[in-house]
Amino acid sequence: MNNPHHNARVEQAIAQLQRQSAEPVCAYIYDLQALRQHAQWMKTALPAGCELYYAAKANAEAPILQTLAPIVDGFEAASGGELRWLQQQQPGRPLLFGGPGKLDSELAQAVELPHCTLHVESLGELDRLAHIAARAGRRVPIFLRMNIAVPGIGDTRLMMGGKPTPFGMDEEALPLALERLRHSPSLQLEGFHFHLMSHQRDADIQLALVRAYLDTVLRWRSSYDLDVRMVNAGGGFGIDYADMRQSFDWQRFCDGLRRLQVQRDDDLRLRFEPGRYVSVGCGYYVMQVLDIKRNHGEYFAIARGGTHHFRTPAAQGHDHPFMIWRGDRDAAIEREKVSLVGQLCTPKDMLARAQQVDALATGDCLVFPLAGAYAWNISHQNFLMHPPPQMLFLDCEPVSPSHAQR
């Protein structure tokens, strides 16, 4: 396979899956060695003093967390469920708890965790948390999540801030929040949190954003006489699924951060909490072709599985990149365009439309790379009650069946 995503370990694993079962293959294969190397590279590239957390919402499978745990500084959770799972899987690791609409019970759960910092999203949440923490007799570290406008920064496809959104607090609310904090000994303000956008592919714009966050926090620090040292600049480093060379340039970003550190003379420390950029590359979704047909002049390859396992192409509205792992049958089509679809009875079950292929036969495997983030966990898995895909984690302990069903 002449493809930048080609991975010999994954190819061997597919052959193994085929040997093990007479049923057509439908599986997620995760290359944990690649994940480890990538995360280590990300961490090493960061300047000293910058922290790297992993946003578990991208993919919280146990072996993924286990692989990342020795490398990252901690994990970010966006619900009580994620918090519980992270605490179970990686007890004692530093946790961040963010996201809008937290329940009182979730706040109480977080307050009980000794290594958990809460990202407060609104004045109402601040009040509830202060009360819950005081009742529990705890003093909890918090960051205020702020939604600020940064002029000239532009939009990405997924904006969480810089405009009216449900996320974070308006700068107008800050004086009131700080006033309430002065009367809330149960809460310790340690920093400010910003996550204005995901799918950011421009490292220079992201650097400008980080600079704006730091300037803003310095301004607040002096205007309100605050003793905060940390700025969480979020995640959102983007992937170009069609052309990885256009993805966010992490090395360029980290080099820019290092220059920024030299230029600035302050004691603010940076923390990042990416998800997609960390784990996307380690996952592959594999579907074996069941049928190839021509319909109204177009070819369709129907393969085992579909968007109920792998919603990413539908969620992103794109044709997902793929590779073909040829079996031993003669090609049913050669040098044709073919749409790659799953088993669902909806035309939306489309993974890539009208794609040029050299050759394809039933029994071949379609291998979709870049399936390690926002893939299985965002899919509508129960629709039509097809069985779940197999889960294969290369370079680690076998996964128990109960976990594979999760």
Residues 397 and 62: beta-carbon distance below 8 Å: no
Judged by CB under 6 A, the chain residues 5 through 64 that form the site for ligand PLP are: 55, 58
The size of the chain, in residues, is: 406
Which among 29-37, 41-49, 126-134, 231-239 is the span making contact with ligand PLP, rule CB under 6 A? 231-239
Active site residue 365: no
Segment lying near ligand PLP (by CB under 6 A), choices 21-29, 41-49, 86-94, 272-280? 272-280
Distance of alpha carbon 27 from its chain centroid, rounded?
Answer: 20
Of 74, 162, 274, 388, which lies in the binding site for ligand PLP, with binding defined by CB under 6 A?
274
| 277 interacts with ligand PLP by CB under 6 A | yes
> Does the footprint of ligand PLP cover residue 283 (CB under 6 A)?
no
Min CB(310)–ligand PLP separation in Å:
17
Least Cβ distance, residue 316 to ligand PLP (angstroms): 12
Nearer to ligand PLP among residue 30 and residue 237 (C-beta): 237
Return d(Cα 95, Cα 181) in angstroms, integer: 22
- 146 part of the interface to ligand PLP, by CB under 6 A: no
Which of these segments, 234-242, 257-265, 302-310, 387-395, binds ligand PLP (CB under 6 A)?
234-242
Of residues 58 through 97, those in contact with ligand PLP by CB under 6 A are 58, 76
Residue 198 is a binding residue for ligand PLP (CB under 6 A) = yes
Report which residue type is found at 26: C
Q: Are the C-beta atoms of residues 147 and 165 closer than 8 Å to each other? A: yes
CB of 373 to ligand PLP, least distance (A): 6
Out of 74, 80, 98, 372, which residue is the one contacting ligand PLP (CB under 6 A)?
A: 98
Distance, CA of 309 to CA of 303 (rounded, Å): 12
Give, as ranges, the residues between 329 and 388 that touch ligand PLP (CB under 6 A): none
Which one of the spans 268-276, 291-299, 363-371, 393-401 is the region binding ligand PLP (CB under 6 A)?
268-276
Query: How many residues bind to ligand PLP according to rule CB under 6 A?
Result: 16
**Would you count residue 160 as binding ligand PLP (CB under 6 A)?**
yes
Nearest distance in Å: CB 264, ligand PLP: 24
Q: Is 161 in the site for ligand PLP (CB under 6 A)?
A: no
Q: Does 393 bind ligand PLP (CB under 6 A)?
A: no
Catalytically annotated residue among 50, 254, 282, 345: 345
Long-range contacts of 291-295 (CB under 8 A, 24+ apart): 291/362, 292/332, 292/333, 292/338, 292/360, 292/361, 292/362
Residue among 237 and 299 whose Cβ is closer to ligand PLP? 237
Of 38, 93, 276, 308, the residue at the interface with ligand PLP (CB under 6 A) is 276
Q: Which stretch binds ligand PLP (CB under 6 A): 65-73, 269-277, 335-343, 356-364?
A: 269-277
Of the candidate residues 74, 80, 234, 281, the single one contacting ligand PLP (CB under 6 A)? 234
Shortest distance in whole angstroms from residue 360 CB to ligand PLP = 33
Min dist. Cβ of residue 400 to ligand PLP (A)? 27
Decide if 76 contacts 95 (C-beta within 8 A).
Answer: yes
Among the listed residues 195, 271, 308, 309, the single contact to ligand PLP using CB under 6 A = 195
> Which residue stretch of 232-240, 249-257, 295-303, 398-406 sits at the interface with ligand PLP (rule: CB under 6 A)?
232-240
* 3-state SS track over the chain: CCCCCCCHHHHHHHHHHHHHCCCCCEEEEEEHHHHHHHHHHHHHHCCCCCEEEEEHHHCCCHHHHHHHCCCCCEEEECCHHHHHHHHHHCCCCCEEECCCCCCHHHHHHHHCCCCEEEEECCHHHHHHHHHHHHHCCCCEEEEEEEECCCCCCCCCCEECCCCCCCCCEEHHHHHHHHHHHHCCCCEEEEEEECCCEECECCHHHHHHHHHHHHHHHHHHHHHHCCCCCEEECCCCECCCCCCHHHCCCHHHHHHHHHHHHHHCCCCCEEEECCCHHHHHHHEEEEEEEEEEEEECCEEEEEECCCCCCCCHHHHHCCCCCCEEECCCCCCCEEEEEEEEECCCCCCCCEEEEEEEEEEECCCCEEEECCCCCCCHHHCCCCHHHCCCCEEEEECCCCCCHHHHHC
**Rounded to the nearest whole angstrom, what is the least distance from the CB of residue 18 to ligand PLP in the complex?**
33
| Binding stretches for ligand PLP (CB under 6 A) | 55, 58, 76, 98, 160, 195, 198, 234-237, 273-277
Q: Which residues are catalytic?
A: 345
